[in-house]
Amino acid sequence: MTPQPPIPVRFVLPRARRRARAPVLGLLVSLGAAACGDVEAIDGPDGGLVDGDDPSLYAAGTTRYEAEARTRQNDAVVATNNPGYTGSGFMDYGGTGSWIEWSNINAAAAGSATVTVRYANGGASERPIALVVNGAAAGTARVPSTGAWDAWTTVSFPVTLRAGANAMRLTATGAAGPNVDHVEVTPAAVAPTGLKLPIEVFGPSGTRVSVQVRVDDLRDITHLYLRCNACGYHVTELDADAGKVKASVRINGGAAIPLKRYTADGRDVGNSRLEILDNAKDYGGLGGVFRTVKLKVPVSGLVVGTNTITFEHVTAAPPSIGFRILELNLLRGGSLSNRVLGGFTQDDPATWTPPLSSATEIAAGRTLWTKRSSLYDPGVDAIDGRLGGGAVTGNITASCADCHASDGRDLAYFNFSNHSIIERSIFHGLSRTDGTRIASYIRSRKADVPVVAAARPWNPTYQPGPGLDARPAYQWAAGAGVDAILADDAAMASYLFPSGQSLDAVRAVVNRHGKLNLRELPVALPMPEWNQWLPHVHPDDAFSTSASALRADESGDSVGKPFYTALYEAAEDDPTPRKIGDMTSRIKSWLKRGMTCDTNGDTSGDPWRALNGNVLSAVKLPKKTYTRCEDKDDRRRSDEEAYEIAKRGLAAWIAVKQWEIVHSNNLEDEGKEAQSASVPYPGGSRTLRSERVCSSQCVDARERGWFVTGRNTFDRPPHFTGHNSRHFFGQDIVSGVAETNAWYHLNMLLNPGYRIMMPNHFAYVCSHIEILQAESDVDQGFRFWASMIKQRQLQTNGLYGAETGNDLRTSQPHVYYKANRNGTSDTQASVGRTLWRYLAQAMVEDFVADANRATAAEWAAAVNNSKVQARESTDFSTGTTYDTGPLQGRNTFRVIPRLRELGVSSSVLTSLINWGEKTWPRGNWDSLR
């Protein structure tokens, strides 16, 4: 989902080792399971009962959800004082903004439905209610008076439901709300198709897949609705080329309709008649940020009876092998609420078996999976611009097991189909028979890699969403699904502030001693899907593995093999937090050896940005050797792309192998165990324990996550490994910045640090959210504030002037108003001015309470990026810009008038002035009072 130039699904393993067996799973816990509230069985259309706990029956009739069995509520209570209700009671609403929500509204298939609300309104005037389904507004009903509180009636809403669990919220929008008894959900009548989804269109150029649907009533059918995974190339040069079409569709053999519409840099390329839906339209459309996109396609040529719909992989380009159609329907009047087809079934990975069942063939598949120097990659072949010739042949050293989990558990866990595995094998130069053997080996892993239904190649890994923590840790990597991605940033509001947006409600969320759960907080940004984790080029194919620099550690001492391999093997044999973390922290030191220049023109920048040095001199792809730094505008793509490919592949490989070790050893929940870390601090290190971290009060900081030292996916994005710190070659700037946002957010989900270490550099996390809003013109405010709140919570541990604690580089108050340097307040303000004021005030209150606990000596001892402006400084000039470096006092001095203009309380600003005067006594703080 976060775009980067496409990444091949590689079948690439050096040797088999003993693995910890995955836990034996009972019933899989689905998101929003009905355990949160009972669902009542009611009369179906033929007098039978439709059981709300049996989703296979939902299309047959109406399902009732009692209000008192809601999942969540705000300012509404269960009551029984008025007769005539069903179930065990009803919900009595409070004033405006009160709501109740069900997260277990289930649908057997995506489609239209009617929601009927049974209510009583004994008041004299209307009490309107608004319905929101899966974060999207579904309408507002007037709810007139019923004359008495025991007189019940109904009001209905047309809605669109997704397959599986849906979240539905009823909010009072008037001065007071009604009493709500229950809601009933009735799916629209549809024509059954019997189609099994997804439809996989994999293979070389010209590959076609046809399906048939029956239509008995053609009236007003205007559009084909599709949900497509990988219909774009996600390579700027291809997506921006009007002559390059990856996917198309035909109706009954008619003209091909290009499924192409890509927008970037003010250009709209492709089929302008396509309508891109939801937030994908704001992020480049097909080929942009979103890997899975919903779209409406105007169609004609349908007939009464059987119709053939044909999908074609028109022009293949490595590393892609095609695309998937996840959803399909015909629409009347172009309305998603008026779908024609139904009766779809989902291909169930639990039913998949090895296509070749004999032990001999499965063993042969494992041998092929681990065999090195046996694969070809046309994408690698094309690196030198000479496909089929030149210095880079495309014959690769890496095996399937090298780029994937060594035992293939990633393809098994994320349920890559037999067909996809076979076609990918053919892409890599193997025969169909050998591809079938590899697929048989992967399917044979089911015994120790149990099937997780939600784990699919198109579902973003670890995608956050409500109810995710209720699943076993083994299922966490599957995420909450592509449907958990919010329609826009504003849809996060009710999840981030479940008790409303009053100042006190905001204070409760901001509280630095709280534990904001990012794993269950949905966002409007997709996390990377598994294909995006995989290396495009394995390090063994990017570097000369015989080079002495590659076979030495960060000190230059020989380890007898590529250093990254040595670190992986050490972590695999002894999967401790330190050994797993060494795969990122020691690699960074290793890359720094001999480095004198980076992509930003610096001589001592981050090693992942290196353009030279001992290790990068061993890159064997065509490159220029940099003996001096050159400005980025003076460098040519052909000179430096090899370094980006090599570093990007190395960072991707490390992330995949860390996932392999953590997942195969059942370490996804280690963060919930009591852990400790020794933190360097003036006067000697301090040891912190995650189960009791104290700063004015003590917090149990344990939560689900990887407990691994150092960073995990944080160094993966283009901000580090890209040629210009914004995007990769072959990637537009919005897609590049969005990808950086996704990897940074994912790192926070995987390893928050538990208040005893800091694997997330929040100066980059929050600034890149602001950059994404600036580049895309799409609001990001709620995710910005959620990240800022989580940052301050993780920094609250009694340490000051250190990134592991309250680091003034990231926590200084100006960030609540405006970004560094010439930035704007657009991101902070995009939540609305009132909420912005409340957030700024609550954050300042919390910051001052924490910062007042620090001593002058602690601030003075801060070094490097955490260095604090000197106590005796007199640099307190006025202005409207806020600078990086040790200028926190001046930044605070400058922002106080702006916070006053925003409406932050005078008493709160006085406390901030007092803290500033205590910390930097030579500033004219009295001028601000």
Read off the CATH number of the domain in which 303 is found: 2.60.120
Per residue in 566-595, pLDDT tens? 999 999 999 999 999 999 999 999 999 999
**Total tally of structural domains belonging to the chain:** 2
47 and 83 co-located in one domain: yes
Whether residue 721 contacts residue 486, with contact meaning beta carbons closer than 8 Å, is answered with no
- Residue 100: predicted pLDDT: 97
What whole-number distance in Å separates Cα of residue 221 and Cα of residue 243?
29
- 261 and 172 in one domain? no
Same domain, 267 and 328: yes
Q: What is the pLDDT of residues 205-244, one digit of tens each?
A: 999 999 999 999 999 999 999 999 999 999 999 999 999 9
Any domain includes 203 = yes
Residue 19 pLDDT: 34
- Structure token digits, residue 377: 């990659």
Is 816:894 a contact under the CB 8 Å cutoff? no
- Residue 56 included in any domain: yes
Whole-number Å distance between alpha carbons of 32 and 480? 10
Contact 191, 343 (CB under 8 A): yes
Q: What residue ranges in 151-220 does DSSP mark as E strands? A: 153-161, 164-172, 179-187, 191-192, 196-197, 199-202, 207-215
Among 315, 342, 369, give the residue marking a domain's end: 342
Residue 854 · residue 862 · CB < 8 Å: no
CATH number (domain holding residue 113): 2.60.120.260
- pLDDT of residue 15 exceeding 80: no
Residues 225 and 158 in one domain: no
Residue 234's pLDDT is: 97
Please report the DSSP string for 712-744 in residue order.
SSTT-SHHHHSSSSS--TTS-HHHHHHHHHHHH
The span from the CA of 363 to the CA of 691, in Å, is 46
Characterize the bridge pairing of strands 292-298 and 221-229: antiparallel
Q: Give the Cα-Cα-Cα angle 902, 907, 911 (nearest 5 degrees).
A: 100
Q: How far apart are the first and last CA of the chain?
A: 49
Nearest to 260 by CA among 220, 232, 301: 232
pLDDT tens digits, 293-306 = 999 999 999 999 99
Do 234 and 334 have their domain in common?
A: yes
- Name the token pair of 818: 């405006």
Whether 849 is covered by a domain: the verdict is no
8 A C-beta contact, residue 671 and residue 635:
no
Confidence of residue 1 (pLDDT cuts 50, 70, 90): very low
pLDDT tens-digit readout, 65-119: 999 999 999 999 999 999 999 999 999 999 999 999 999 898 877 778 889 999 9
Whether residue 640 lies inside any domain: the answer is: no
Is 451 a domain residue? no
- 439 in helix, strand or coil? helix
Q: Residue 839 half-sphere exposure, CB side, CA atoms within 13 Å?
A: 29
**pLDDT band for position 59 (cuts 50, 70, 90):** very low
Is residue 335 domain-resident? yes
- How far, CA to CA in Å, does 705 sit from each of 407, 517, 750? 23, 11, 5
Give the whole-number percent of the chain exceeding pLDDT 90. 85
Identify whether residues 141 and 48 lie together within a single domain.
yes
pLDDT digits (tens, 9 = 90+) for 709-755: 988 899 999 999 999 999 999 999 999 999 999 999 999 999 999 99
Residue appearing with tokens 């509001």: 493
- Indicate if 239 and 272 belong to the same structural domain: yes
Residues 134 and 256 in one domain: no
Q: Hunting for tokens 């053919």 — which residue is that?
A: 426
- Supply the pLDDT for residue 189: 66
Alpha-carbon dihedral sign for residues 638, 644, 649, 650 = positive
Residues 6+ apart with CB under 8 A from 229: 198, 291, 292, 323, 324, 325, 326, 457, 458
Question: What is the mean pLDDT of the segment spanning 611-638?
Answer: 92
Cβ contact 490:136 at 8 Å: no
Task: State which of 314, 342, 370 marks the end of a domain.
Answer: 342
Q: What is the DSSP letter of 489?
A: G
- For residue 62, what pLDDT band results from cuts at 50, 70 and 90? confident
Measured between alpha carbons, how far is residue 793 from residues 226, 239, 493, 742, 841 in Å? 42, 42, 19, 21, 16
Backbone angles phi, psi at 54, to 5 degrees: -115, 90
Cβ–Cβ < 8 Å for 699, 513:
yes
Q: Is residue 334 part of a domain?
A: yes
Query: How many CB atoms neighbour CB 30 within 10 A?
Result: 20
Tell me the whole-structure pTM to 2 decimals. Answer: 0.84
Same domain, 110 and 200: no
Contact between residue 717 and residue 711 where contact means Cβ atoms under 8 Å apart: no
What pLDDT was estimated at residue 18? Answer: 31
Residue 12: what pLDDT?
26
Range of the domain at 170: 39-188
Residue 674 has pLDDT above 90, yes or no: yes
308 and 210, same domain (yes or no):
yes
Structure tokens at 917: 């005067």
pLDDT at 5: 36
Could you tell me which residues come within 8 angstroms of residue 657 by beta carbon, excluding any fewer than 6 positions away? 405, 568, 571, 572, 583
Token code pair at residue 707? 């407990």
Identify the pLDDT of residue 730. 95
Q: Which of the listed residues 162, 188, 214 is the one where a domain comes to its end?
A: 188
DSSP string, 826-855: HHHHTT-HHHHHHHHHHHHHHHHHHHTTS-
Burial of 301 (0-12, 13-18, 19+ CB in 10 A): exposed
Give a yes or no: residue 255 inside a domain. Answer: yes
Query: pLDDT band at residue 61, thresholds of 50, 70 and 90?
Result: low
Cross-strand partners of 39 = 65
Is 187 a residue whose pLDDT tops 90? no
- Portion of the chain with pLDDT greater than 70, in percent: 93
Nearest to 188 by CA among 75, 255, 108: 108
Q: Is the pLDDT of residue 416 over 60?
A: yes
Q: Do 315 and 204 share a structural domain?
A: yes
Tell me, yes or no, whether 159 and 300 share the same domain: no
Q: Is residue 21's pLDDT more than 70? A: no
Strand partners, 208: 312
Q: Can you give the pLDDT at residue 113?
A: 87
Rounded mean pLDDT of the chain? 91
What pLDDT is recorded for position 873? 97
